[in-house]
Structure 1
Amino acid sequence: MLNGKTILLIVGGGIAAFKSLDLMRRLRDEGARVVPVLTKAAEEFVTPLSVSALAAEKVHRDLFDLTSEAEMGHIELSRAADLVVVSPATADLLAKMANGLANDLASTLLLATDKRVLVAPSMNVRMWHHPAVQRNVEILKSDGVMFIGPEEGVMACGEFGLGRLSETPDIIGAIRSALTDGPLVGKQVLVTSGPTHEPIDPVRYIANRSSGAQGAAIASALRDLGADVIFITGPAEVPPPTGVHVVQVQTARDMKEAVDAALPVDVAVFAAAVADWRMATPTTSKIKKKNGAMPDLKFTENPDILAAVSQLKKNRPQLVIGFAAETDDVIENATSKRDRKGCDWIVANDVRPETGIMGGSENAVTLISKDNADVWPRMDKTQVATKLAQRIAKAVTS
């Protein structure tokens, strides 16, 4: 909940501006105070009256409001909020922010604020991919501005691609994360998730049944405790969570490179179901049947990411956690894996088909450490993630 929090909401001019009305309503439902600011362009899509009614606040529109400016109102507005949110953030607003322009109320507030800023971009797909926009995005990220979206989908103009405004619940989730004062604030956490796909030929690959749901839930739970989360995911069924830095990969070697690039971190959680083997030499053409004969497939081992990070001599995370999906002798095999890999904890689960855990919505895990095997009851994967995140927070902050 956002009880007692004040959000300065800057609404940019774009077709997605109408979604700001729902955002205001839902933020107020969570106990937040929403102070709205409309750009001139935004008034072409939503009216000040509708915004004022849903926010239950005065709508701020003009930099040269003499009543307010007698008391330096634009400075007060920019400092009084707990968080500044720009939704939708147009290409024009991003450009003004990146280049320090202040020629209207919205851009002046963004330049004058001493609070964190979260932007939710929305624009045409070709605009989003334009080099100028991407340069501005990189500048803003380096300045500490937080981003949520954009998402992929059909645009109002009929084109398809990145540029859609994130959904309201996702924006609210990012707002909660930005306002979190949890035990993991200042900690950087790496989470791997999902399967890897190891190509056999251009149309076939080796994989497993992992949906990525548990890894995504863990990343969300750690984010909600204030952690800065780097989420490295294979081609999972479950979409990555919002409010985290997402790195998408395909193969185990891709994942290894992404993990190496992310280090050093304070905590590493290896929830990904990485393929143990890959084709020694994937073919560049589709393998054809030859009179019923089986193809000659030669395999080689993939890199052991968990072991490599666990056994680092330099820049080893304070806490390294692996996962063990087992079908037999779960605790014994997982304990052996923890000793063999050198990680601190192993989260073990029974993935026999009859459990429905692999790819399902629930999990039943045993948390294995050096001195203990803590058996948890079967519960929703979100609950497992919350409990694990709390254990992590206690371990690295005590």
Structure 2
Amino acid sequence: MQDKSFLMIPGPTPVPETVLVELARHPIGHRSKEFSDIFMSCIEDLKWLGKTKDSDAFIYTASGTGAMEAAISNVISPGDKVLSLVIGVFGKRFGQIAQTFGADVEMFTCEMGKVIDPKLLEQRLSLDKNKEIKVVTVTHSETSTGAANDLEKIAKVVKNHGALLLVDAVTSLGCMNVEIDSWGLDIVISGSQKGFMIPPGLSFIYVSKKAWEYYKKSKCPKFYWDFGKHKKSLDDETTPFTPNVSFICALKKAFEMMKKEGLENIVKRHECLKSNLRAGLKGLGLKLLTEDKDASAAITAIYPPDGVSVPDIRAAYKKDWDITVANGQDTLKDKIFRIGHLGFVSDRDIEMALAVTEKVIKKLRIKS
């Protein structure tokens, strides 16, 4: 039954009924007072979620990758030195976008499933005596591996150096603790289809006062992504271009749910979901890609047991149980499968995932 299909991937994630109902309503005018009130409510809620009073918050009609491009194109100039911290596919993507805009990019890479060591980063930045590195990019929660960098420690190291810090928080914001002001995060981006509990289509960008100084000096071409256009429109309680009105109305409903639960409880819930899933998977004898201390609260990456293939596992989930789990990406394709546990996910969903995983593995082992 199609209506019973269930997503357990890192995004898109399940959407609550109240949000789906809101999406079914007729659109309202994007220049109306009614929409402006909803839009500005979402802007304030974004600041609440990111624990910031000092940064501007913008909503783009775009994917998370669009927000990454916006972050890069608004603060660099061709030839600028950018240090990209890479722990997976999306950390690499940040660097590739910077290269596209003419930056001199150095990929600071670690093994897939591992995280950046803040001490090694500090050593690298200490070699930059002339402060040639203008920007550092980092992924908080790496969707491709289920690893999570220690963002607070990394931010401290980068702040001591003086470079601008750009953060991909696509699968962490709304699931994990992100403190923009107290940690000194300069630009933070995220997307609607993860912890925000609405479909893909919106991205979110926070811009610090320091980032605005970089913006003034940036020589990269930009139009749709231009922070200045969004800031000017935000002052008028609107957007520079036609936004996805229905999604922003749905976002307001999602924020109402999040505020009712409370930010601390949201973070605790995701930590519990992660811990319960990882313990259960280990109890089934499965090996996980990341160590517990490095694990994201949003995604878990799992190796298949000997003699069982990832495509067969994913096919069995879908055919027998109508559940979708994710493949690995890049060099990890068909080597791991990934279960998302972010957004509108409960303990019941984790118990279901573990029960189904046990049945799938047993069935495939018998066949092999």
Normalising by structure 1, we get a TM-score of: 0.29
Structure with a larger share of its residues in strand: 1
Q: Greater CA radius of gyration, 1 or 2?
A: 1
Which structure exhibits the higher relative contact order, with contacts defined as CA atoms closer than 8 Å and separated by 6 or more residues? 2
